[in-house]
């Protein structure tokens, strides 16, 4: 039963694949497929103290940096702690504070922060983060963080037992940091703007370039490679913003994308797109055996000279066998969805499923890019 939740998750993911199979092309916006080069967020980080904990803070004898940080803060407030004082404080915790500074952020804007314990605090629930400077990679202060922490992780009851669903030594502060310094961007002075595809694709880059030229005239967009599209934007800043807004909202009929299977060995989840297919192969993993075989079916006209045509169709048979058990057969088009359904029927564990997918990929049976997280 310990893998029942993971198997159920796989069943739900596979069941949702059926709705994705029919349509060969989908309508997407350019903004969903690309980003504007140079317009990005910046990571911020700082070190601070959380106070007001209910006896769940750091054990100061085991984390001396907490005591040192507290002494430094008190000295800045004009309070001198006598040398050799052994402070046994259980309501203070040393933490790391991280945040994302969004592009075009202005001074005074509020951003969210994430607070994580770096000592041995048991819980940060009910704590207050003291003023913490957040620095960028250039060691300059870009924001100041402070506020009350919101810690999720209340005990959840399952089958009469209380279980811990989340960690208590981390939390968030919504709008907990104030931007103090703006990140300079040369975007407003550029005549040439580049769109960067989320996934490199020569055909998609050319298609986006053609659509933009069809809308605004030839020569506006040039596909430089499989990932970058160069745009000649207006020189006026207001006209440039309007131009990019129209470009990003342009609809695009996207054809079949690269077939991918994403597996997460930690959670046992498997996510695939509708373009995944299989060829003939046989894989043995533990007590499970997976066989994928293709057969040809010939349909001939009723009369030899009736004017009809002979039609040859390919049918894929998927069989999953458990040692000493029955054979689960699925007659279907060659798709991975049926294999996972059959494996779940036999109660395959997530680990066995990962190994089978990797073996299929190595044997050339799985026609998709396999990625593991």
Section 141-153 average pLDDT: 91
> Are residues 74 and 168 part of one domain?
yes
DSSP state letters, 15-29: HTTGGGSS-S-EEEE
In 3D space, the residue among 264, 263, 281 whose CA is nearest the CA of residue 272 turns out to be 263
Domain annotation covers residue 102:
yes
Please name the helix (run of DSSP H) or strand (run of DSSP E) that holds residue 14, with its range, or none.
Answer: helix 4-15
Instruction: Kindly state whether residue 121 falls inside one of the protein's structural domains.
Output: yes
- Structure token pair of residue 173: 């502060």
Work out the burial of residue 88: count CB atoms within 10 Å of its CB; fewer than 13 is exposed, 13-18 middle, 19 or more buried.
Answer: exposed
Is 210 in the same domain as 333?
no
50 and 82 part of one domain? yes
One domain for residues 84 and 150: yes
pLDDT value, residue 187: 63
173 and 46, same domain (yes or no): yes
User: Mean pLDDT score of the chain, rounded to an integer?
Assistant: 78
Q: Dump pLDDT digits (tens) for 229-249.
A: 999 999 888 899 999 999 999
The answer to whether residues 242 and 192 belong to one domain is: yes
58 in the same domain as 160: yes
Taking every pair of Cα atoms in the chain, the longest distance, rounded to a whole number of angstroms, is 109
**The whole model's pTM is what?**
0.66
Domain that holds residue 78: 42-179
Cβ-Cβ contacts under 8 Å for 207 (sequence gap 6 or more)? 252, 254
SS3 sequence, 325-336? CCEEEEEECCCH
Number of domains in the chain: 3
Question: Which of 144, 179, 214 is where one domain is finished?
Answer: 179
Same domain, 47 and 159: yes
* 340-359 pLDDT, tens digit each: 776 766 667 777 777 777 87
Same domain, 237 and 264: no
Q: Tell me, yes or no, whether 106 and 141 share the same domain.
A: yes
Average confidence (pLDDT) over 109-124: 94
The pLDDT value recorded for residue 296 is: 57
Give the residue-averaged pLDDT of 259-267.
Answer: 77
Q: What is the pLDDT of residue 157?
A: 44
Q: Which residues pair with 277 in a beta bridge?
A: 367
Sign of the Cα torsion 146, 76, 142, 50 reads: negative
What is the residue-wise DSSP string for 121-154? -S--TT-EEEEEEEE-TTS-EEEEEEEE-B----
What does the pLDDT read at residue 275?
A: 67
Tens digits of residue pLDDT in 183-237: 887 665 678 999 999 988 899 999 999 999 999 988 899 999 999 999 999 988 8
| Helix or strand (DSSP H, E) at 241 | helix 237-248
The CA distances from residue 167 to 65, 153, 171, 316, 328, in Å, are 23, 6, 9, 47, 41
* Structure tokens belonging to residue 361: 């990929």
| Tokens coding 269 | 């989840």
Return the DSSP state at 237.
H
> 3-state DSSP call for residue 187?
helix
Tell me if 306 is assigned to some domain.
no
- Within its chain, how far is the Cα of 351 from the centroid? 21
Please return the burial class of 35, using the count of CB atoms within 10 Å of its CB with bins 0-12, 13-18 and 19+: middle
Same domain, 51 and 174: yes
- pLDDT > 70? residue 304: no
pLDDT of amino acid 158: 42
Q: Tell me, what CATH number does 32's domain have?
A: 3.90.1150
In a domain, 305, yes or no: no
99 belongs to a structural domain:
yes
HEC sequence for 147-186: EECECCCCEEEECCEEEECCCCCEEEEEEEEEECCCCCCC
Chain center to CA of 354? 19
Residues 100, 217: one domain? no
The proportion of the chain whose per-residue pLDDT surpasses 90, expressed as a percent, equals: 37
Q: What percent of the chain has pLDDT over 70?
A: 69
């Amino acid at each position: 039963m310990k893998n029942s939740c993971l198997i159920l998750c796989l069943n739900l993911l596979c069941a949702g694949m059926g709705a994705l199979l029919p349509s060969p092309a989908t309508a997407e916006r350019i903004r969903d497929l690309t980003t504007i080069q140079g317009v990005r967020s910046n990571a911020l980080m700082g070190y601070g103290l959380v106070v007001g904990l209910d006896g769940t803070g750091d054990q100061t004898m085991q984390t001396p940096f907490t005591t040192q940080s507290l002494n430094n803060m008190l000295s800045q407030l004009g309070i001198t702690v006598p040398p050799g004082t052994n402070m046994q404080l259980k309501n203070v915790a040393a933490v790391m504070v991280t945040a994302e500074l969004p592009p075009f952020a202005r001074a005074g804007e509020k951003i969210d922060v994430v607070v994580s314990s770096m000592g041995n605090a048991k819980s940060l629930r009910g704590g207050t983060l003291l003023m913490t400077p957040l620095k960028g990679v250039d060691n300059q202060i870009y924001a100041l963080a402070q506020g009350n922490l919101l810690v999720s992780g209340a005990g959840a009851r399952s089958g009469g037992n209380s279980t811990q669903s989340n960690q208590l030594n981390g939390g968030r502060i919504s709008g907990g940091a104030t931007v103090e310094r703006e990140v300079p961007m040369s975007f407003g002075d550029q005549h040439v703007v580049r769109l960067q595809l989320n996934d490199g694709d020569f055909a998609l880059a050319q298609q986006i370039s053609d659509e933009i030229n069809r809308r605004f005239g030839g020569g506006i967009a040039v596909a430089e490679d499989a990932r970058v599209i160069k745009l000649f934007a207006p020189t006026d800043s207001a006209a440039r913003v309007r131009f990019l807004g129209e470009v990003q909202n342009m609809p695009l009929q996207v054809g079949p994308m690269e077939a991918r299977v994403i597996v997460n060995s930690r959670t046992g989840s498997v996510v695939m797109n509708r373009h995944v297919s299989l060829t003939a192969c046989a894989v043995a993993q533990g007590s499970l055996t997976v066989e994928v075989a293709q057969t040809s079916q010939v349909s001939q006209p009723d009369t030899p000279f009736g004017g009809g045509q002979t039609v040859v169709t390919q049918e894929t048979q998927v069989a999953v066998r458990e040692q000493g058990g029955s054979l689960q057969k699925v007659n279907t088009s060659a798709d991975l969805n049926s294999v996972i359904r059959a494996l779940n029927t036999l109660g395959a564990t997530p680990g066995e499923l990962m190994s089978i997918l990797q073996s299929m990929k190595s044997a050339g049976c799985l026609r998709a890019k396999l990625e593991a997280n």
